[in-house]
Structure 1
Amino acid sequence: MIRAVVVTPVKNSLETTLDTIESIYRSNVDLKHVVFNDFSDKNVREELERNQSNFGFDLVNLEDVIKTPSPNYDYVLRESKKLAISLKVPLIIIESDVIVDEDTIAKLLDFTEKTEGIGMVGAITVDEHGAVNFPYLKFKGEKVPVIKTERSLSFCCTLLSSPFLNSIDLNTLEKTKDWYDTIISKMSIENNFQNFVLTTVKVWHRPHGSRPWKQLKYTNPIKYYLQKFILGRDKI
């Protein structure tokens, strides 16, 4: 019996994407995994299609269903919500620069099923050495296993509960934005749900691995901020 819908938005970055897909495939829980390919290059599409049978995911090539140029995270979220609600299961977003363990998804689901009033619950992100990294550096010094927070949760590896999904209208998301983590985190709190981060559920996050241009923030910050502000990329 399917316990969750897992979605992975993809924009190029084939190597990290396939690593993410394989790690989800190895999860010890029944789930429906959908990869949304957001106008990636032709070779990425071909590799995703080639690997569908190997890793058992559904593939939606957005170029076949919509005309709006990438990024289309708003569309992905709306369609993912519809699917999760139709199957009456939570939605888990796992982005394409994240590696999960076999029991990561099961732990998120188990915590949700045992805790009342959950809107969102996220696994904490760490580097290859197990140290907390972006975007959860704000929780780096925390020792407790469960953090209840009103701060923004990232969508790196985050569960949205069924009651929360049923309470919100994602048609209100602004197309001008590239990211919706902060907006949807606030929706949860405003609708009287609780948001949590689990510090004992760790996922390996390669920051910006799914969007290589953002590495410029560290290697060439001037060029990064020119793209961010002049070209209007990376809107939150």
Structure 2
Amino acid sequence: MLTELGGKGGCLCEPAKSGTLRCPLIVRPTSEDVITGHLFGTLQAINPRWWLPDFLNHALGVERFRRQVFRKLRIVLWQKQPKFPRWLIPWDEGQTEVDVVITWENPPTTVFVEMKYGSPLSANTTHNNGHAGYPADQLIRNARIGLYQCGCYQEAKLFEFLPRDFSLILLSPKTGNPLVERYRDLGKFRESIPHNGRLATLPRTPFIGEMNYLVLLNILDSNQRFMTKTEQRLTDQLNDYIQFKLDQLISKQSDN
């Protein structure tokens, strides 16, 4: 953030800025990882009571989550998920790395957040270009993997456990992604999942949603009066950074 906002981290050479030199220290303007790390690194330091329920409720469009003490709350970035079972899909699939995984235990809940900044959702994923007759985009892949990890598939297990609640949120500069609307329709969602008859249960609906960065900033701003001075300062800094990144994105799009 210091490098991007004010050059406080030092200067980068011109070849690195232009992209002709692959510099490992460069903060690339289009990097989704940079904005993901700063955004959720800051949110981890703010009491989740003041952002997490509102974030999920706004993204899903329903009042599903309440303000509470989130027991055993964890926010993990870029978490690799176990490979999806081969017997549930007609293609070989590698590991999936989820941008943000949020979990807590009262009740047992898992949230996947797919982050987008300067690029759209991928229409195809590794080893799957839709050749098997099912959608191959990032959103349906993350949904399918999340449901499996949360115990929604029927299979023989050594130890049984109750399914976890699950939500999948697309966080991007703009809302209105057609894939989100498509997969919120349970009929279309099931049609997009191989062996959907193995889905013994589904989370409370809707469990797929989306939000843009400005709405998240508004949530933080509306709850700022309840925060500590430190949290308020962090919120102000985050607001400055996200606004800077959105302006940067608009400028880049206008240049193109």
TM-score band by shorter chain is: under 0.3
TM (norm. structure 2) is 0.26
Indicate the structure whose relative CO is greater, using CA pairs within 8 Å and at least 6 residues apart. 1
TM-score (norm 1): 0.27
**Bigger CA radius of gyration:** 2
